[in-house]
Structure 1
Amino acid sequence: MRNADAALEERLGHKFSNRDLLDRALTHSSAIPELRGASGDAPGDSVPRSDNERLEFLGDAVLELLASEYLLAAFPDWSEGQLSKSRARIVNASSLESAARRLHLGEHLRLGRGEEKTGGREKQTLLADAFEAVVAAVYMDSGLSAARELLQRILFEQALEGRGERIAESDRKSALQEFLQGRGQAPAEYRLAGESGPDHQKTFQIEVWINGECLARGEGSTKKEAEQRAARSALEQLERTGVKG
């Protein structure tokens, strides 16, 4: 297992001073009874192993802190609502699972036989929890800067690829809705203005209407993408000029 852990350390970009932290981060609770039984046969291994649940708890807090820090630096003009929603997207189970898969954490998990038989190495919850535990292990081993470097390389940069456009656009419709509601305006209306291209490669044109006026248009490979881009354009105009109450 040590050779396998060394390969994981290389992917993490972090060499542990305390390898026991990494062992614990990769150990699911289902493995504990078997590991404790095996420890009786290993000279010098008298301390029972513990699972990764406590590290997962700490890793969740480290993730929240560093994701907040990263978003504040990357998007200085965003509101608290935009920051909160984007942070939630960065640290949700799906995002953490993707990060765990980039690290091939499933290959390194220590699972009980029952969990192994039911495909535990591919379960989203186990992978997301293990990633949080590994973040905590890095933090405990070398501090906040080491955890920050790991998350920026493995999680944040992927979540914010394209200079943050993916997250920024994912918030545009809700941000526009909040902007209008805060000024007593009716919700925006999105209308399909046209589409072009073959069925397998269509481009959609969406108009966003506010107070009976077509304020902006957006294009995208899906209707949802086009709506988000139209909302972004509309919001930029409204933020520059304001809306009449």
Structure 2
Amino acid sequence: MSPSDFKSYLEENFQISFNNIPLLQEALTQRNYLNEHPKETGRDYQRLEFLGDAIMQATVTEYLFKRYPDWDEGQLTEMRITMVQTKSFAHFARVIHLNEAIRLGKGEEMNGARDRASLLEDIWEAFIGALFLDQGQKAVVDLLNQTVFAAIDENFFDQFIDFKSRLQEKLQAQGSVDISYEIEKEERNEDNSQVFEVFVAVDGKTLAHGAGQSIKDAEKAAAQKAYQELTAK
């Protein structure tokens, strides 16, 4: 997808109409592409990535501050860290088809860079920076409302939270306790995939159970359930 085609896609699906096409093109350009096209006069995405990172931090902070008026500083900070860690940005880059519009060098294209999470995370930030420069904060907020902020209601960010650490911090806030994870059951599904069932206990008292296709996933599920039940009280 060319930058002009991507511009049309954004207009049709996200009501974003870019005015500065060279700026959009810069956000979509990897350095190797410029190395292979020496007549190109533009830059790669890296400066815009720097700006986009700051814009994401500020915009998410303002959103959380207004959405959760009863949360304290610790809760707001914790949620902001979860939302702006770049692991999630690759997902949102795919949601708006940024991966299809990146201008890559031939070698990078052949090596699968178009779907490389680390690159998509950078390109997402660069695109946010370009959108801010082109249309201002409101356009950024409008896009994030359709993507990042909408994902909060779908519990999308749970996968990026270290619930085992959070559970440990909560349980040990008043002093040392013994936290253990034990395998309760191991079985195979009809498709021959393994499923583990685990329970988490504190000082020998079971708090919650969890299941997953690996012991690690099962432990995380148990910790998440225990943490959410404790924080809901």
Q: Structure 2 length as normaliser, TM-score?
A: 0.76
Given candidates 140, 150, 154, the residue that maps to 1:157 is 150
Paired with 1:196 and 1:29, the residues of 2 have a C-alpha distance of 49
Give the C-alpha shift of residue 83 in structure 1.
3.8
- Map 1:88-237; keep pairs closer than 5 Å: 88-158=81-151, 160-162=152-154, 164=155, 167=158, 170=161, 172-191=163-182, 204=197, 206=199, 208-214=200-206, 216-218=207-209, 223=218, 224-237=220-233
Deviations along 1:186-239, whole A, 9 cap, x unmatched?
A: 243445667999667979573x5444545x4456666332331123223444xx
What residue identity is the alignment partner of 1:183? Q
- Contact 2:187–2:196 (CA<8 Å) still a contact in 1? yes
Task: Give the direction of change, closer, same or farther, for the CA distance of 1:60–1:165 in structure 2 (3 Å limit).
Answer: closer
- Contact 1:205–1:226 (CA<8 Å) still a contact in 2? yes
- Contact 2:167–2:226 (CA<8 Å) still a contact in 1? no
Give the C-alpha shift of residue 97 in structure 1.
0.9
Paired with 2:123 and 2:156, the residues of 1 have a C-alpha distance of 28
Given candidates 12, 15, 18, the residue that maps to 1:13 is 15
Paired with 1:167 and 1:80, the residues of 2 have a C-alpha distance of 20
Paired with 2:39 and 2:109, the residues of 1 have a C-alpha distance of 18
Paired with 1:197 and 1:74, the residues of 2 have a C-alpha distance of 43
What residue identity is the alignment partner of 2:107? G
Task: Give the direction of change, closer, same or farther, for the CA distance of 1:189–1:33 in structure 2 (3 Å limit).
Answer: closer
- Contact 1:55–1:137 (CA<8 Å) still a contact in 2? yes
**What fraction of aligned residue pairs are identical, expressed as a percent?**
34
Deviations along 1:159-190, whole A, 9 cap, x unmatched?
A: x243x485399455433322333322324344
Deviations along 1:115-153, whole A, 9 cap, x unmatched?
A: 233222222222111111111111111111211121221
Match of 2:30?
A: 28
Paired with 1:192 and 1:112, the residues of 2 have a C-alpha distance of 48
1:37 is paired with a residue whose SS is coil
Paired with 1:66 and 1:122, the residues of 2 have a C-alpha distance of 26
Which deviates the most, 106-115 or 164-173? 164-173
What residue identity is the alignment partner of 2:169? E
Rg larger for: 1
Paired with 2:165 and 2:71, the residues of 1 have a C-alpha distance of 13
Give the C-alpha shift of residue 54 in structure 1.
0.6
- Contact 1:58–1:133 (CA<8 Å) still a contact in 2? yes
Are 2:39 and 1:37 aligned? yes
1:96 is paired with a residue whose SS is helix
What residue identity is the alignment partner of 2:111? T
Paired with 2:174 and 2:15, the residues of 1 have a C-alpha distance of 48
Paired with 1:178 and 1:213, the residues of 2 have a C-alpha distance of 17
Gaps in structure 2 of 5+ consecutive residues: none
Q: How many residues align?
A: 224
Task: Give the direction of change, closer, same or farther, for the CA distance of 1:205–1:124 in structure 2 (3 Å limit).
Answer: closer
Deviations along 1:56-85, whole A, 9 cap, x unmatched?
A: 000011111222233334445555444444
